[in-house]
């Protein structure tokens, strides 16, 4: 099909000269690919980003795993409270399979209640995260049977995964031992702390990974928004003129009127602001007498006030002079180096061939970013051509103390625009806000990571608390003996805490390389990135350690201050 379309293209465009310099072709795209593939336009519809969706799925799976692990730790930690019940049931004739089924049924009911609660909370969460969601997402489950089926399947899987191990532990108690008060005489394969410690370490690995990821993403976003882009971006407003207006006189009159307003520092015309989502490019040739250098160069059209308004630096030469057809151009430092000039001054007076015309280089600009930091700075030419300049850039004077100056000035700009173009709608943007929008997806990821980190910290702390409860219950008599022999509460707390702190340190050692590797892979999306400093990982480790110590202290202080007479009464 593609060959046939391309054959028709050449057949019905016989006046075109098809060669390596002038080639066009058709490519077909599957309809199911339109929603995800950003290479082609999808005609204004919402376009999803597959890596982001996969990332959210992985995030949800990890949080669900944390919840399951947490349930296992807390259930087994509180096993002694049901030991006598199990002993009585077994004495009355209950089999182990019946007890396992009972405990799995209890877990299923708890999971089902949690599912219903999540369904009730979902509409509220959709409002909280409305910025992340495309229009049209709703919670009408009656018309979404696939969602109901998924929830039922998920409920069953979570119930079995989180309930099987506790059911095996609880059903393994021997009634003769339990009824004598020997609650911890259980099968060896269930009494070992190794599995519980492994699950706790796994929880803290996930939690610390989320913390480190949050710091890494937040640090990169801060770098993107605060990096010097090579031009002034604060207090600058820009707006588009109608594309249908081909009269240069209209925009010239509007510019002159804006210059007379009290709240405006300067005004400039250009085809785009300095940094934008799109760009124009063209092939340019430079001949130095021996050989020619052909380069793909980005093009900016702007008037003579553009460089001054954005406070760009001219490294050599002079600014443009006003002209309706470009004969003089400024080039950026990158293009000067590509042409072979180590000193920017060497490029002044040289000619480049562009659209079968020779343009003289009158100045070299210091590099500035024409696109987001995802892309490196490319060779650029700045020329003056009024017919191409349909964007008005306005530099505002500093805001007044009352905070009303800019509002009044923009109102005056809107009035002047309306009088010049009465049939058009006035829409403006602050340049710094437009730059921030380039990184909206990263900012959304950062916000989601903060929520995930808070949940992971909370769940992991509960899991650690379950392990602490289990351990202190096993060592209750040891603690009583130590207190009788003169050990202080501080010594007992330290004794009980050191093992759990080691678990956090082990989790930190595992999470660091994972977060470092993932952070570098994510930063590969940016041509300019901030180094991953040691403080990112150190700060996350300290935050995790603090959360762990708070969780540990809740139970260890209670165990250390308990009356030893109660724990030793049966001895």
Q: State pLDDT tens for residues 130-167.
A: 766 666 666 676 667 888 888 889 899 888 888 887 88
Q: Which residue has the higher pLDDT, 471 or 299?
A: 299
Residue 383's beta-bridge partner residues?
A: 301, 329
Q: Which residues of 222-258 are buried (b: 16+ CB within 10 A; e: fewer)?
A: eebbeeebbbbbebbbbbebeeeeeeeeebeebbebb
- What are the residue ranges spanned by the domains of the chain? 1-47, 49-192, 193-227+438-571, 243-423
Q: What is the average pLDDT across 529-541?
A: 89
Q: Are strands 351-354 and 357-365 parallel, antiparallel or unpaired?
A: antiparallel
Res 365: pLDDT: 94
Which residues 6+ apart lie within 8 Å of 330 measured at CB?
307, 314, 317, 319, 320, 361, 362, 363, 364, 365, 381, 382, 383
Residue 182 has pLDDT above 60, yes or no: no
Residue 246 has pLDDT above 80, yes or no: no
Res 429: pLDDT: 92
How far apart, in Å, are the Cα atoms of 520 and each of 445, 504, 524, 539?
16, 24, 6, 18
Res 186: pLDDT: 46
Least confident of 85-89, 191-195, 329-333: 191-195
Grade residue 185 by pLDDT with cuts at 50, 70 and 90. very low
Q: What would you measure as the largest C-alpha separation in the chain, in angstroms?
A: 106
* 8 Å CB contact between 537 and 456: no
Please report the beta strands in 369-467, taking only residues with DSSP state E, as ranges in sequence order.
380-383, 391-396, 428-430
Residue 512 has pLDDT above 90, yes or no: yes
pTM for this entry: 0.77
Residue 187 has pLDDT above 50, yes or no: no
Grade residue 249 by pLDDT with cuts at 50, 70 and 90. confident
* 8 Å CB contact between 463 and 224: no
Residue 463 has pLDDT above 80, yes or no: no
Distance CA 44, CA 90 (A): 66
Distance CA 217, CA 447 (A): 10
Write out pLDDT tens, residues 546-569: 888 888 887 777 777 776 666 666
Write out pLDDT tens, residues 475-486: 777 777 777 777
* Contacts by residues 57-65 (CB-CB < 8 Å, ≥ 24 positions apart): 59/448, 59/452, 62/206, 62/452, 62/456, 63/452, 63/455, 63/456, 63/459, 64/158, 65/202, 65/206
Grade residue 126 by pLDDT with cuts at 50, 70 and 90. confident
Distance CA 240, CA 388 (A): 12
- Percent share of the chain, pLDDT over 70: 82
Return the number of other C-beta atoms located less than 10 Å from residue 427's C-beta.
9
Q: Are strands 292-301 and 380-383 parallel, antiparallel or unpaired?
A: parallel
Instruction: Calculate the average pLDDT of the chain.
Output: 81
Residue 21 has pLDDT above 70, yes or no: no
């Amino acid at each position: 099909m593609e060959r046939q379309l391309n054959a028709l293209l050449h057949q019905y465009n016989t006046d075109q000269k098809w060669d390596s310099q002038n080639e066009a072709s058709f490519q077909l795209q599957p309809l199911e690919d339109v929603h995800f593939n950003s290479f082609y336009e999808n005609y204004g519809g919402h376009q999803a980003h597959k890596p982001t969706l996969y990332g959210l799925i992985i995030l949800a799976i990890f949080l669900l795993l944390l919840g399951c692990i947490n349930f296992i730790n807390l259930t087994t930690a509180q096993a002694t409270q049901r030991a006598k019940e199990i002993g009585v049931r077994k004495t009355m004739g209950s089999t182990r399979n019946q007890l396992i089924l009972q405990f799995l049924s209890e877990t299923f009911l708890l999971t089902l209640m949690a599912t219903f609660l999540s369904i009730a909370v979902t509409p509220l969460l959709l409002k909280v995260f409305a910025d992340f969601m495309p229009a049209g997402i709703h919670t009408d489950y009656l018309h979404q049977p696939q969602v109901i089926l998924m929830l039922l399947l998920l409920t069953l899987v979570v119930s079995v995964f989180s309930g099987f191990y506790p059911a095996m532990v609880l059903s393994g108690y021997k009634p003769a031992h339990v009824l004598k008060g020997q609650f911890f005489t259980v099968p060896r394969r269930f009494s070992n702390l190794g599995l519980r410690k492994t699950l706790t370490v796994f929880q803290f690995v996930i939690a610390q990974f989320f913390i480190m990821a949050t710091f890494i993403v937040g640090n990169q976003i801060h770098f993107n928004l605060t990096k010097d882009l090579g031009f002034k971006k604060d207090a600058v407003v820009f707006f588009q003129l109608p594309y249908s207006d081909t009269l240069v006189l209209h925009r010239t009159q509007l510019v002159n009127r804006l210059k007379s307003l009290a709240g405006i520092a300067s005004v400039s015309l250009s085809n785009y602001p300095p940094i934008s989502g799109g760009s124009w490019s063209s092939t340019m040739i430079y001949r130095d007498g021996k050989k020619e250098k052909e380069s793909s160069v980005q093009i900016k059209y702007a008037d003579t006030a553009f460089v001054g308004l954005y406070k760009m630096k001219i490294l050599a030469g002079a600014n443009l002079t006003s002209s309706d057809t470009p004969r003089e151009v400024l080039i950026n430092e990158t293009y000067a180096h590509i042409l072979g000039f180590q000193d920017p001054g060497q490029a002044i007076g040289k000619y480049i061939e562009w659209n079968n015309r020779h343009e003289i280089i009158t100045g070299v600009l210091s590099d500035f970013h024409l696109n987001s930091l995802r892309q490196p700075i490319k060779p650029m030419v700045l020329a003056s051509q009024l017919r191409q300049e349909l964007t008005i850039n306005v530099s505002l004077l500093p805001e007044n103390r009352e905070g009303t100056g800019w509002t009044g000035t923009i109102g005056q700009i809107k009035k002047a625009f309306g009088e010049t173009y009465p049939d058009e709608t006035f829409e403006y943007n602050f340049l710094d806000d437009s730059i921030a929008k380039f990184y909206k997806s990263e900012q959304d990821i950062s916000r989601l990571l903060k929520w995930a980190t808070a949940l992971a910290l909370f769940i992991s702390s509960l899991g650690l608390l379950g392990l602490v409860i289990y351990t202190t219950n096993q060592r209750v008599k040891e603690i009583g003996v130590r207190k009788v022999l003169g050990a202080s509460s501080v010594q007992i707390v330290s004794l009980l805490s050191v093992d759990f702190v080691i678990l956090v340190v082990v989790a930190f050692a595992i999470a660091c390389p994972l977060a470092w590797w993932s952070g570098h892979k994510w930063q590969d999306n940016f041509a300019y990135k901030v180094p991953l400093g040691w403080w990112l990982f150190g700060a996350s480790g300290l935050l995790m350690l603090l959360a762990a110590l708070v969780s540990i202290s809740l139970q260890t202080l209670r165990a250390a201050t308990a009356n030893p007479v109660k724990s030793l009464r049966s001895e």
